[in-house]
Structure 1
């Protein structure tokens, strides 16, 4: 852990050598971090940024894994319901379609965007950003997509949808025979991979790499 305590005589320094705390707005010198170290604000203790070793390779592997899990998580059965001799299988996509066919088009669109559309768009933005850094091409577009990704983060609600699935399972257990499908296992794995990706893909390192590449391209 690194304490960024030097916060005086900053007026003549270039912006790339400074960092501001997102919580208390304290402006300070940007510390040099070793792998696995993190910088904290000396005033409020907020984590400014951390240095993730092998961030690019690990993040790419996690994004690709998440994209591979996306299709089975959304289109394979999550639950198998047996009631009165009839068996039905539900997927994330079938739930959206059922809402739409039940004259709840507005809710269907919201559920689709939050559980399928926006999570996929976030993953694609992350993939393109990481590839632009890896191949050192189109970093200006990478900056734009990374800004879009940060605006989308608040709208991807897989964890909320997962809680809804758990509540449904608890309520249906007393009414019918339930069997957990492969889609639910893939959905849980997708959720865990995305959480791991959020931890691994250090925003500070991504912004730094994109800005550095753009600065070199402009010279």
Structure 2
């Protein structure tokens, strides 16, 4: 169920009762949502926020799944190349090392940060934020970590790295025998789990739970 919201006389309302659309900047009264409902902007139709079921438990399950996929996705072979009788196996980590050892240190650092370091830090931030809500401890640290997560959100670029791998496979297909490795399967799985996590982990409910406004965020 969805609900469009708008209201006159907003100047008389306290700030905590107001919400602004991220797309068109329309200011409106914040609605109270039941489970499964979502609030839509009456001007542009953008989803302001939603009230989803079992946000904390579902998000925790997805974070743990992503962390389990992280190591095989980065350290197991993505593909094996066979050219003129010579074979080589490539992983995300070996790609970073290869760039570093060929005097492309700047590029290797960017690849390492965007494809390995920042995605891991994001997952760890999400994990600790969810644990602070689940066990009701260290909410102030949870707020700090969730802010850090939002600052890092646009810097984890797994989809860009995956696109580069797929382009390389297409270009090399006529020159070498290519065998897709388990690492690529885990990498795609990690990317899909993170996308699913972005959908499930409702920012509105997480902020409310961290600030103590929503004691039933995990319901």
TM-score under structure 2 length normalisation: 0.94
> What displacement does 1:123 show?
0.3
Aligned twin of 1:145: 145
1:115 aligns with 2:123: no
Structure 1 unaligned residues grouped into runs of 5+: 215-219
Aligned twin of 1:208: 208
Q: 1:154 is paired with a residue of what secondary structure?
A: coil
Aligned twin of 2:26: 26
> What displacement does 1:11 show?
3.1
Following superposition, which runs of at least 4 residues in structure 1 exceed 6 angstroms of deviation? none
Structure 2 unaligned residues grouped into runs of 5+: 215-219
Aligned twin of 2:179: 179
1:59 aligns with 2:59: yes
Aligned twin of 1:168: 168
Q: 2:211 is paired with a residue of what secondary structure?
A: helix
Aligned residues: CA RMSD:
1.3
Aligned twin of 1:217: none
Structure 2 CA distance for aligned equivalents of residues 80 and 36 of structure 1? 45
Structure 2 CA distance for aligned equivalents of residues 25 and 8 of structure 1? 15
Contact 1:136 1:213 in 2 (8 A): no
How many positions carry a matched residue from both structures? 213
Aligned twin of 1:83: 83
